[in-house]
Amino acid sequence: MRTIIEPFRIKSVEPIRMTTAAERELRLREAGYNVFLLHSEDVIIDLLTDSGTSAMSSEQWAGVMRGDEAYAGSPSFYRFEESVQAIFGFRHVLPTHQGRAAERILCSVMVKPGDVVPNNTHFDTTRANVEFAGATAMDLVIPEGRIPSAQHPFKGNMDVARLRAVIKDVGADRIPFCMLTVTNNSGGGQPVSLANVREVSEVCRASGIPLYIDACRFAENAWFIKLREPGYRDRTPLEIAREMFSYADGCTMSAKKDGLANIGGFLATNDDRVAQLERDLLILTEGFPTYGGLAGRDLDAIAVGLREVLEEDYLTYRIRSTAYLGDKLTAAGVPIVQPPGGHAIYIDAAAFLPHIAPLELPGQALVAALYRVAGIRAVEIGTVMFGRHDPATGEETPAAMELVRLAIPRRVYTQSHIDYVAEAILGINETRGSLRGMRFVEQAPVLRHFTARFEEVAPQTASAS
Ligand SMILES: Cc1ncc(COP(=O)(O)O)c(C=O)c1O
């Protein structure tokens, strides 16, 4: 059979509240054209994020009921630890309430002011934690990883020559650890090859630099390796994941992605001394080491989710259904980051709306149109999120790329939901010349994308570029 079906039946449903175009127009204006400020009940298809939005399986809900809420030594923790160690193989596993807590503890223990942390591309919380510790976060993805239209099977790979040069320039003693983000979320959900993980590990080990993996989407990365890397077709996702982590000294993980859970994460390491320091900090800010900021029921849901996420039927469906949306858009000439990533499709809004200059926020204009036309919530990853605003002069600097991310929650939407999304985008594509740019009306000094308010630019002033 060529049709790839969802490898699950639906046992429990959550109604979607349908809205009218007039209602959506009203809600959009009330929200200042910022979809973060919408109520989720007013959204028909929510593609804001794949984080914490997974549908849990009946086995995970059974795990929730099994959850033991003992403060210390809960069996839920030991099931969680066993599940993590079976895949990741690290000696010490510290549960955290989500990924950024693992990053904060790692950076607090290992990073000092003046240090440099290389990564293929830092996710924004990882970058923020590195910078908060006084260090420089350096992105060393291969050049293809920075060009939306470039085709490469492993666009998330680190540029190893640049890594060598950075180690030589900065000195290994100023690099507390090196990181690889799998898949590379900020670079379009693109995978990292095992050959690249191995090579980065060799370079790091030769200089005594620990390698950490930001493992949020490790199963999706393992599946891309199986599909694309010579020599891995007959290996299971679990075997590939184990090999990937065998080259690392530790990892940070947000279980809200490939843990198939709604909350949770962990920090893992093989270093006994570092683990002790991290545990002390965990007790201070997260909780006792056998629950670390999570309820026992969350630990059980993650224990089961980590096993389910490596099932081949699930991964076949997951990666194919993301590509299904990407292929439909590509066939209609909609410019997207190529090839489709694991968890999301990224529309290149600058190429899609060339009549809207970067400072008139083409990504935000497209996000607003998606909601207006079809009640779809996406997120701008461009000048709104990463541009710079100088409060003294009012000067705006645009971001390097103007993307709109359509993140696909795991096991939540069916193929007909995705067909609906494609139809909406193809409809907008036909009248894209009529879309107007936007401008900020209000913005906060940090992380402005969450709370900013916008207005549409009058058609006659929208500048061509
Ligand atoms: C690559 C990557 N690292 C880290 C994080 C942070 O995880 P959390 O949201 O659980 O703090 C995310 C979340 O989206 C991510 O995508």
Instruction: Out of 120, 124, 257, 410, give the residue to mutate to test ligand 1, the one with the largest number of ligand atoms within 8 Å of its CB.
Output: 257
Q: Taking 50 as the threshold, does the pLDDT of residue 464 lie above it?
A: no
Q: Residue of the nearest CA to atom 7 in ligand 1?
A: 99
Atom of ligand 1 nearest to the CA of 98: 10
Minimum CA distance residue for ligand 1 atom 6: 99
Task: Supply the Cα-derived Rg of the chain in whole angstroms.
Answer: 22
Query: Which candidate, 206, 200, 303, places its Cα nearest to that of 253?
Result: 303
**Whether the predicted pLDDT of 462 surpasses 70:** no
Q: What is the pLDDT at residue 386?
A: 86
Which residues fall within 8 angstroms of residue 269, CB to CB, at 6 or more apart?
A: 90, 91, 92, 249, 250, 275, 278
In terms of Cβ atoms closer than 10 Å to its own Cβ (0-12, 13-18, 19+), residue 372 is middle
Q: How far is CA 182 from CA 194, 253, 311, 340, in A?
A: 11, 10, 18, 15
Is the pLDDT score of 453 beyond 80? Answer: yes
Residue 98 alpha carbon to ligand 1 centre in Å: 8
Each residue's pLDDT tens digit, 205-214: 999 999 999 9
Q: List phi, psi (to 5°) of 347.
A: -85, 135
Statement: residue 132 has pLDDT above 60: yes
Q: What pLDDT was estimated at residue 465?
A: 43
Which residue minimizes the CA distance to atom 8 of ligand 1? 99
354 neighbors 433 (Cβ within 8 angstroms): no
Tens of pLDDT, residues 246-273:
999 999 999 999 999 999 999 999 999 9
Side-chain-facing half-sphere of 279: CA atoms under 13 Å:
12
> pLDDT grade, residue 130 (50/70/90)?
very high
Nearest CA to ligand 1 atom 5: 99
Region 49-61: mean pLDDT is: 98
Q: What pLDDT is stored for residue 235 in this prediction? A: 98
> What pLDDT, in 10s, does the model give residues 177-201?
999 999 998 888 999 999 999 999 9
- The pocket around ligand 1, CB under 6 angstroms, is made up of 51, 98-100, 123, 125-126, 181, 185, 214, 216, 254, 256, 265
Distance between Cα 267 and ligand 1 center (Å) = 13
Cα(117) to centroid(ligand 1), Å: 17
What is the tens place of the pLDDT at every residue in 375-426?
Answer: 999 999 999 998 988 888 989 999 988 999 999 999 999 999 999 999 999 9
The pLDDT tens digits of the residues spanning 68-92 come to 999 999 999 999 999 999 999 999 9
Q: State the pLDDT confidence band at 364, using cuts at 50, 70 and 90.
A: very high
